[in-house]
Amino acid sequence: MSLLVVGLSHRSAPVSVLERASLAVETQAKLLQDTLAAEPATEAAVLATCNRIELYADVDKFHAGVAELSTLLAQHSGVGLEELTPYLYVHYEDRAVHHLFSVACGLDSMVVGEGQILGQIKDALARGQELHTAGRLLNDLFQQALRVGKRAHSETGIDRAGQSLVTFGLQQLAAGADPGRWAAGKRALVIGAGSMSSLAAATLARTGVADIVVANRTRSRADRLVEILQQGDDTAVRARAVEMSAVGDELTRADIVVSCTGSTGLVLTADAIADALGVTPAAAPERPTVTVTPAPADVDQHAAWVENGSAASAAVAGPATSLHRVTVPAQSTGPVRLALLDLAMPRDIDGAAHRVDGVRLVDIESLAEASADAPMAADVDRVRTIVSDEVAAFGAAQRAAHVAPTVVALRTMAAGVVAGEIARLDGRLPDLDEKQRAEITQTVRRVVDKLLHAPTVRVKQLASEPGGAGYADALRELFDLDPQTVAAVSRADLNDPNRGRS
């Protein structure tokens, strides 16, 4: 296994950089295809959310892999490599597995413990499978990450350590008030009908809003979301769908707006919001700068830190070495007439909307600041233990799987020897009846199976331990196995259409 991940997230980069580096679905597909075409990579998967962009690959050369993946991320994100590099982080082998498992459990989320990341990991796996860029390693890795994430949520109270971005965002809009009381009776406009927008609509309905209007570019998806909302037994919300062209009119009647679309441009401008409220945008003072800590500042430095595989890879995930300062504007003062929650990346709502009188805007950037001081539950430590145990188990399984084709090739060779000797016996003793021949054949096979049983079981056990990869090579050398036969077994396993699918 030579798993490599290169990426950036809210922990390593300011939101302004994440926003510019965001990848549309079609861009993700092109990135995967180009990664596979690059020499160091044999498999690839991309995990792109509003809070992170990560490229996973199975590579045969670490240094070349880091350089190639970093370059590809820069090319497809549209952010220059020199500008992007200070915010990139690198994880290799077991550290890469540990990172994805932690992400799946919500430990690396902006709001610790949120479960939306599991759906995003599932989507990343499905995309890799559809494009045939996820092979045996990444199929196994992402499938196991999903299982680890589900285990963490079912066996611990990690859900109590934080909430979904939607719930957390509504709490910020309520500004200290009880979200249920704050939202009761209000009218909400939800822009978008994807997974996050659907979650937002359902959360608003449970919170107690009276009316929800759903606007989406594809009207049928908006209609479907409205149908789901009206079928809910735990709410009495009134819901209807509109075309995107009606957003301006609906804005004049809304108290709360939640937007999360895949648009690459602004969905709501500050002028449109001001027009809906009948006011004029006003200048506002800026807040003090906020310090953001990015990853180490040089891709070559990343590579230099890893000399002996996973043994040195902890340094790659070590503390950052440089600081970046961003300036975030203040909210307007006065009574709030329109509460805006922007969960999109890149943003849907003009950041200048905070200057419109009567507007409160909460977006990914302000959520990142607010969640920085969120309390951590004791269950987080339990989840970390689960992640560590699962990383060890995954590594052992992968190392054991590495020796499996050699064991299969050995048993295939042994079966061939038995068949050859039985054929020779037939030539020497042609008068053997079928019963005698069957008994002799079964006896020879039993002898061979007993001779091979202990060493093959033991070699699988040894191979599952750290540093056990060499046992497969030793087995091939001792029994003079044909490398092409072993490779053929590996290819057959890799091409199994049922492998890695749930």
Residue 362 pLDDT grade (very low, low, confident, very high; cuts 50, 70, 90): very high
Task: Give the model's pLDDT for residue 325.
Answer: 35
The region of weakest confidence among 33-47, 298-312, 362-376, 461-475 is 298-312
Check residue 75 and give its pLDDT: 94
Residue identified by tokens 């339990």 is 382
323 membership: H or E segment, kind and range: none
What's the CA gap between 16 and 79, in Å, rounded?
Answer: 11
Q: Residue 476's Cα: distance from chain center in Å? A: 37
pTM score of the predicted model: 0.64
Q: Residues 141, 122: contact at Cβ < 8 Å?
A: no
pLDDT of residue 480: 76
Q: Which of 50, 84, 254, 408 is catalytic?
A: 50
Flag whether pLDDT at 377 surpasses 80: no
Please give the C-alpha separations between residue 169 and each of 162, 343, 377, 436, 489, in angstroms, as whole numbers. Answer: 12, 9, 19, 79, 51
What is the DSSP code string of 190-225?
Answer: EE--SHHHHHHHHHHHHHT-SEEEEE-SSHHHHHHH
Helix axes 62-77, 25-37, angle to 10 degrees: 150
The alpha carbon of residue 294 and the mean position of all alpha carbons in its chain are separated, in whole angstroms, by 20
Across residues 1-27, what is the average pLDDT? 88
Minimum mean pLDDT among 80-94, 460-474, 486-500: which range? Answer: 486-500
**CB within 8 A of 454, min separation 6: which ones?**
none
Tell me, yes or no, if 50 is annotated catalytic.
Answer: yes
Best CA proximity match to 344, nearest among 260, 469, 464, 239? 260
Q: What is the mean pLDDT of residues 194-202?
A: 86
- State mean pLDDT over 374-401: 81
**Lowest-pLDDT range, 161-165, 255-259, 363-367?**
161-165
Do residues 42 and 68 lie in contact, with contact meaning Cβ atoms separated by under 8 Å? no
pLDDT bin (cut points 50, 70, 90) of residue 502 is: very low
Peptide bond into 346 cis (omega under 30): yes
How many CA atoms does the CB half-sphere of 390 hold within 13 Å?
28
Res 311: pLDDT: 33
Q: Do 162 and 114 contact (CB within 8 A), yes or no?
A: yes
Which helix (H) or strand (E) is 38 found in, with range? none
- Which of the two residues, 61 and 163, has the higher pLDDT score? 61
Q: Helical H runs in 247-330? A: 247-251, 270-277, 299-305
CA angle, corner 152, sides to 147 and 158, nearest 5?
A: 150
Find the radius of gyration of the CA atoms of the chain: 28
Of the listed ranges 98-107, 285-294, 443-452, the least confidently predicted one is 285-294
Q: Which residue has the tokens 């994880």?
A: 91
- Asked if residue 232 has pLDDT above 60, the reply is yes
Cis peptide before 179 (omega within 30 of 0): no
Q: DSSP 3-state helix, strand, coil percentages of the chain (rounded to 5)?
A: 55, 15, 30
Q: Where are the alpha helices (DSSP H) in 78-164?
A: 81-84, 94-104, 116-130, 136-155
Q: How many CB atoms lie within 10 A of CB 323?
A: 10
pLDDT of 494 > 60? The answer is no
**Phi, psi dihedral angles at 501 (to 5 degrees):** -115, 140
CB 422 within 8 A of CB 444: yes
With pLDDT > 90 as the criterion, what percentage of the chain qualifies? 43
pLDDT band at 305 (very low <50, low <70, confident <90, very high): very low
The arithmetic mean of pLDDT across residues 24-51, rounded, is: 91
Average confidence score pLDDT of the chain:
81
Range 206-223 average pLDDT: 93
pLDDT at 485: 57
Structure tokens that stand for 444 in this block: 């020879």
User: Would you call 19 helix, strand, or coil by DSSP?
Assistant: helix
Of 462 and 94, the one with more pLDDT? 94
Report the pLDDT value the prediction gives residue 194, as an integer from 0 to 100. 84
Confidence of residue 479 (pLDDT cuts 50, 70, 90): confident
Beta partners for residue 190, in sequence order: 214, 258
* Residue in 413, 418, 410 with CA at minimum distance from that of residue 475: 410
Top pLDDT among 327 and 8 is at 8
In this model, does residue 363 exceed pLDDT 60?
A: yes
Q: CB of 494 within 8 A of CB of 135?
A: yes
